Amino acid sequence: MLPAKNLPAENPRISPWLIRTEAEKPLSYQLLTSNVRELAPAVDALHKLQADAIDLNMGCPAPAVGKLGAGFRLMEQPDTARSIVAEARHRTTLPLTVKIRLGAELDEAKLKSFCTMLQDEGIDMLSVHARLKNESFARKPRWEWIAKVKEWMRVPVIVNGGIFTVQDAENCLHVSGADGLMLGRGAVIKPWLFADIARDIYGSSLARSAVSLPAMYCKFVDLLSEFFPPERRLGRLKEFTHYFAKNYKFGHRLAMRVQSSPTVDAVRDRAALFFERNRENS
């Protein structure tokens, strides 16, 4: 998520949120805002960045985001949401998409009204996280509700939530009837999941090399050092490790050791020791 208020001041040459590689194309940038006046300069900045699409976040349930009136709060303020989408649509001819959740509670009429409003204001695609606002990740996603959304919409509908394996992806598409998939935590745990789904479900000829978990982890640390400022590296590494460690039977030990590490170098040393002791899973 890119806060629309801060985006125009970001330097794309050094900002870890804006740096992109040649391989990252097409690339959509997700904006977070509750203020329609922030859209014009933010969209202009994205045009200068040669964005391929623009997404508006109306689904994040985080309390800090809610206090700003953004994310999921916009689903509770449909008039504000409408004005934001209308302004974004006015400011760009790029594909315009929106990310939402199912709602605060299961209310079919309310959800339909919000989704069709977004469509009427000109969005090109809708992504839906198949959980309610306060439902934890432990709760099984309600993929069947995406099938309802599909019935209401003329634009493509993308399903998000609970996709960690190719089998999950197949089941999700079967139940939801969605036009595509959005991966979240599953892709952080297993970054190669994109390639597996593309090959096994969509018939892509894309081949991936054998996965070495230690090598992948070390590569991530190297990329952090290359693209992130020193003060942001350790926190981001701890966050990533929380998910990546789930690839190991006793991954909680890796996560705990990294969480207590005072420096990135300490993380490297502790991770190397863990990988050495868990070769059978690497």
Amino acid 210: pLDDT: 83
Counting the structural domains of the chain, the total is 2
- What predicted TM-score, i.e. pTM, was given to this entire model? 0.94
Amino acid 211: pLDDT: 86
Sheet of 53-57: strand order equals 2-3, 28-32, 53-57, 96-103, 125-132, 157-160, 180-182
Q: Do 101 and 218 sit in the same domain of this protein?
A: no
Amino acid 156: pLDDT: 99
Q: Do 122 and 176 sit in the same domain of this protein?
A: yes
Residue ranges in the chain whose pLDDT is less than 50: none
The domain boundary residue, chosen from 170, 200, 230: 200
Q: Do 192 and 220 sit in the same domain of this protein?
A: no
The domain boundary residue, chosen from 153, 169, 200: 200
CATH number at residue 126: 3.20.20.70
Q: Do 234 and 179 sit in the same domain of this protein?
A: no
The domain boundary residue, chosen from 168, 200, 232: 200
Candidates 60, 115, 172, 218; catalytic one: 60
Whole-angstrom distance, CA of residue 27 vs CA of residue 195: 17
Range of the domain at 47: 2-200
Q: Do 156 and 38 sit in the same domain of this protein?
A: yes
Handedness of CA 50, 55, 56, 62 (dihedral sign): negative
Question: How is 46-86 classified by DSSP, letter by letter?
Answer: HHHTT-SEEEEE-----HHHHHTT-GGGGGG-HHHHHHHHH
Number of separate helices (H) and strands (E) present in the chain: 12, 7
Q: Is 60 a catalytic residue?
A: yes
Q: Do 185 and 77 sit in the same domain of this protein?
A: yes
Q: Do 138 and 46 sit in the same domain of this protein?
A: yes
Q: Is residue 208 part of a domain?
A: no
Amino acid 60: pLDDT: 96
Q: Is residue 39 part of a domain?
A: yes
